[in-house]
A and B are shown apart, each in its own frame.
Chain A
């Protein structure tokens, strides 16, 4: 059995690298479909958010699971990159480490803003997407369902999630206040109508912003969101004129290419007469061309630029950290134990069945030999009980050893030996 993960996150890579490897939902579905073709007996879940790209794979038989190198090649090929260019930046975890990592990520301990709730819903979405594409199986089901349960336990038993925090909340409450004294006379432009945009809007509405305009490629979605939040929706082709009007821009689209290029923004700058504009590009890949930050009075911030404030948030939650880590450690240990027991279960059943078949055959042979001799049914019953006890007594020590010894620490060596000794087959 093998559970593994390859990926990268904001901890060890910057946004320029992550945006090259990001999978938008349509791309993620296509990638999972390709993986099913390439590695048919492997279960896979692909998690791609603004702060991380992680592929979880699992297989009952280790030989069926793709190696880390194969996965790196797959990711590189999918994005048209050179494997050697990305290999060093991707980390690879397997077994208990991979499970612990997933649990910590779901519990938001690995998030940029520790305690944020968004990552759990992103994990659920990634799992649902893999389910819909038939890429999951018993191992990924149990791992991801356990991750969701552990995240909820951390949420309930620690105060990490108190005072709801998220990247949009920090963006609005901390960053916007460095630029603007008040928001009730400002025009805020939201580009995109996804989850991040939705979350940002909730904070902006609380701040009593003068005018909020949502622009999205799908006008319908923008209108839905505008209706929910009491803001305005606009057509995508109005983007340039809206940028010229806006004081604050929050962009979080799922576009694979920048939606605002340097050339496009040059036209905007001319119309703005150098009026300061604060742009928060929360998308990965980024929506705004990096060159835009060179324009006078344009303050362009990407998701990585908020790292320091997020670190301060982490420090504030440091006291709750050991408590959350303890829960993760407990749950990981328990999960791995259950997982290994689950693996041995079918083989124990098969061994017992095999022994039972031998017993039945021997009993039948004895009855045939006795032929017409009248045997007291009580004696026949006693013989059958004796054989049962014999089988059970013979199997008990090896099965007990198997239950105790097959664990994340010792691996499946004893199980493999047992399969070989008793010639157990799938």
Chain B
């Protein structure tokens, strides 16, 4: 019994730096592939990733439980960035398991660590508004945008790998020891599917956001103004993604590798820009909503 308590206590002491360090070690090991060969490296990377994912999950679970007792859990940009990075870490580990000889980690792990760093940088930001958290459309809005971001990050990573692999093959560079990439065909399929999925999810996210806003507008005026920079940029992003998808479906040459990879890169950067507007523009914490959250409304 004491052991269980001690274990539970130990688990609560897991911090963000624990899993960030695991991922960092995995990244360094992936980079070291470029310089020398060690037979057990893949096993160590896998162990590091499992340890990182375990610590990451425990950390989020603890936070979920802590938030749950005081309100809606995982309801801040900080939490979201950590959830996205966990989803990417799991995706990477699954791919790495299937493709032990390929250097997929060099592309995935910097994105995962980048998200964790970004989470740290916005840790002090206000959580989402109560309306958004409690409303069905608000949850749909948030979850689909989160999943869309994960999907777009995967599309970006595989697109980047595609461009690197295509360039190496075009220049007839030999596969460097420790730097083998998956086949062009696999990268293209992953890139394409992730882009379509991201477009669908972001579309759901945006439309649920609009419905939520209309609902609120009926009760309180201008919860989020229609001319808000985030609303405009999100609409433009959605139009862009729909345009890319339609272009890809109708214009056959665009289906072939590089064009779609370049468009994915641009889409991802566009998404990052919109997310920056959202996070730093306090989109989810408009003054009216914040007032409601503090108990002044309804």
Q: Which residues of A contact B (CB under 8 A)?
A: 177-182, 273-276, 293, 296-297, 299, 301, 305, 308-309
Contacts and interface: CB of A to CB of B under 8 A. Distances in A.
B226 to A, nearest CB: 41
Contacts of B189: 181
B269 to A, nearest CB: 23
Nearest to A186: B185
A181 B185 contact: yes
Interface string B180-216: 0011111001000000000000000000000000000
Contacts of B170: 293, 299
Contacts of A305: 172
B252 interface: yes
Given A179-B183, A182-B185, 17 more contacts: A177-B183, A178-B175, A179-B169, A180-B183, A181-B182, A273-B255, A274-B253, A274-B257, A276-B184, A276-B257, A297-B258, A299-B169, A299-B170, A301-B172, A305-B172, A308-B174, A309-B175
A100 B9 CA distance: 76
21 contacts: A178-B175, A178-B184, A179-B183, A180-B184, A180-B185, A181-B182, A181-B183, A181-B186, A181-B189, A182-B185, A273-B256, A274-B253, A274-B256, A274-B257, A274-B259, A275-B256, A276-B256, A276-B257, A293-B170, A296-B258, A299-B170
Contacts of A177: 183
List 5 A-B pairs, minimum CB-CB distance, nearest first: A308-B174, A273-B252, A274-B253, A274-B256, A181-B185
Contacts, number: 44
B104 to A, nearest CB: 14
A178 B99 CA distance: 13
Interface string B153-191: 000000000000100011010110000001111100100
A239 to B, nearest CB: 22
Given A273-B253, A274-B253, A309-B174, A179 B258 contact: no
Nearest to A297: B256
Contacts of A179: 169, 183-185
Contacts of B182: 181
Contacts of B255: 273
A242 to B, nearest CB: 19
Nearest to B182: A181
A277 to B, nearest CB: 10
Contacts of A297: 256-258
Contacts of B165: 178
A178 B175 CA distance: 9
A192 to B, nearest CB: 22
Nearest to B186: A181
A111 to B, nearest CB: 18
A177 B169 CA distance: 12
Contacts of A309: 174-175
Nearest to B173: A308
Nearest to B189: A181
Nearest to A269: B253
Question: A180, A181, A182, A293: which has the most chain B beta carbons within 10 Å?
Answer: A181
B271 to A, nearest CB: 26
Contacts of A299: 169-170
A276 B172 CA distance: 15
A45 to B, nearest CB: 34
Contacts of A296: 258
A178 B169 contact: yes
Nearest to B180: A178
Interface string B252-275: 110111110000000000000000
Contacts of A180: 183-185
A6 B169 CA distance: 35
A36 to B, nearest CB: 42
A123 to B, nearest CB: 29
A308 B175 CA distance: 9
Contacts of B256: 273-276, 297
Contacts of B253: 273-274
A59 B220 CA distance: 107
Contacts of B169: 178-179, 299
A296 B257 CA distance: 10
Nearest to B253: A274
A178 B183 contact: yes
Q: Which of B172, B252, B259 has the most CB of A within 10 A?
A: B172
Interface string B227-264: 00000000000000000000000001101111100000
A178 B172 CA distance: 11
A179, A301, A305, A309: which has the most chain B beta carbons within 10 Å? A179
A174 B256 CA distance: 22
Contacts of B174: 308-309
